[in-house]
């Protein structure tokens, strides 16, 4: 159970300065609570970004904004947030929705173990720090994942992923997309797979690496590439943990400092 600290559920419609052909109308709301360790924070968005970061407070704070050209456009979007074993927010639309965006900004207490689930369609997810477990799912978008301490799983359909210091990365599944970044100080095995996607990594940990592709190219300086009827493959390194990388038709480029 968690103790509800504060709830702000007053939706305000604010009119800002004129932009282009007309005024911009904005809907805003925020929700916050003090959560126990192990609680869930879940956001399911459509057509908009999700930004997650830590702050110096004991509260989890979720803020969102909706921008539109008129009040009716704001009213066609529903953001349902509740407090069942954590904080949950889901965006839904009426049939007359015209493509307006909903953007979330989530602030997490420092060093609080939480189970995060972040999903968006047509948007970017930016995860900076935090700890616990995290599931990031994107359709037609991108993600920048930095400094998260804990088990991290990423599922992408048509999107780009950038990794910056995520030692708990465990699974990446990509259908039509790319994965770029640096892998260092990993805490467990990692499985990376793509159907049609580019993998471009710098591996700075001492790990065992297995790479295979059916029809893509492998570019790893110093590695011996084996070619056969079902594709190309290589293995290198010798460490406590293993990184297993497979693609169907995506290219793989790896630079490493493994002796």
Does 79 reside within a domain?
Answer: yes
**Quick one: tokens of 112?**
């609080």
Res 37: pLDDT? 96
pLDDT at position 67: 78
Residue 213 inside a domain? The answer is no
Tokens of 38: 């192990």
C-alpha span between 30 and 11 (Å, rounded): 9
Residue 18, domain extent: 3-166
pLDDT tens across the length of the chain (259 residues): 333 332 333 233 332 322 333 466 777 889 899 999 999 999 999 889 999 999 999 999 999 998 766 666 677 788 899 988 899 999 988 776 666 789 999 999 999 999 999 999 999 999 999 999 999 999 999 999 999 999 999 999 999 999 998 999 999 999 999 999 999 989 999 999 999 989 999 999 899 999 999 999 999 998 999 999 889 999 999 999 999 999 999 899 999 855 4
Pairing of strands 77-82, 40-46: unpaired
The whole-number pLDDT of residue 39 equals 96
Phi, psi of 124 (to 5 degrees): -115, 140
Residue 40: inside a domain: yes
pTM: 0.87
75, containing H or E segment: helix 71-75
Structure tokens given for 17: 């300065």
DSSP 72-95: HHHHTEEEEEE-SSEEEEEEEE-T
Q: How many domains does the chain have?
A: 1
Supply the pLDDT for residue 1. Answer: 38
Beta carbons within 10 angstroms of residue 129's beta carbon: 16
Within-domain flag for 45: yes
Asked if residue 44 is part of any domain, the answer here is yes
Assess if residue 128 is contained within a domain.
yes
Which pLDDT score, from 0 to 100, does residue 73 have? 66
Phi, psi of 110 (to 5 degrees): -65, 135
Is the CB of residue 246 less than 8 Å from the CB of residue 230?
A: no
pLDDT at position 72, please?
Answer: 66
- The reply to whether 10 falls in a domain is yes
Is beta strand 149-164 parallel, antiparallel or unpaired with respect to 169-183? parallel
Q: What is the pLDDT of residues 17-28, one digit of tens each?
A: 223 334 667 778
pLDDT at 9: 32
In a domain, 221, yes or no: no
Torsion angle in degrees (nearest 10) through CA of 242, 248, 249, 251: 0
Measured in degrees and rounded to the nearest 5, phi and psi for residue 75 equal -70, -15
| Per-residue pLDDT tens digits for 64-73 | 998 766 666 6
If we measure between CA atoms, which residue out of 113, 103, 92, 99 comes closest to residue 40?
113
């Amino acid at each position: 159970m968690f103790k509800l600290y504060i709830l702000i559920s007053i939706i305000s419609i604010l009119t800002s300065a004129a932009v282009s052909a007309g005024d911009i109308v904005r809907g805003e709301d925020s929700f916050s609570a003090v959560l126990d360790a192990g609680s869930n924070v879940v956001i399911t968005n459509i057509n908009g970004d999700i930004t997650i970061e830590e702050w110096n407070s004991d509260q989890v704070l979720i803020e969102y904004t909706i921008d539109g050209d008129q009040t009716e456009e704001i009213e066609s979007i529903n953001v349902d947030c509740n407090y069942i074993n954590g904080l949950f927010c889901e965006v839904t639309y009426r049939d007359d929705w015209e493509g307006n965006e909903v953007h979330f900004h989530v602030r997490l207490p420092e060093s609080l173990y939480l189970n995060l689930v972040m999903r968006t369609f047509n948007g970017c997810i930016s995860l900076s720090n935090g700890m616990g477990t995290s599931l990031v799912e994107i359709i037609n978008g991108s993600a920048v994942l930095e400094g998260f301490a804990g088990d991290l799983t990423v599922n992408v359909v048509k999107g780009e992923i950038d990794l910056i210091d995520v030692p708990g990365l465990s699974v990446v599944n990509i259908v039509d997309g790319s994965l770029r970044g640096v892998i260092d100080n990993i805490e467990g095995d990692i499985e990376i797979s793509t159907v049609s996607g580019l993998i471009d990594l710098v591996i700075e940990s001492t790990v065992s690496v297995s790479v295979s592709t059916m029809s893509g190219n492998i570019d790893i300086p110093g590695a011996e590439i084996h070619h056969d009827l079902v594709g190309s493959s290589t293995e290198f390194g010798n460490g406590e943990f293993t990184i297993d990388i497979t693609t169907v038709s995506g290219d793989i480029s790896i630079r490493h400092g493994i002796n």
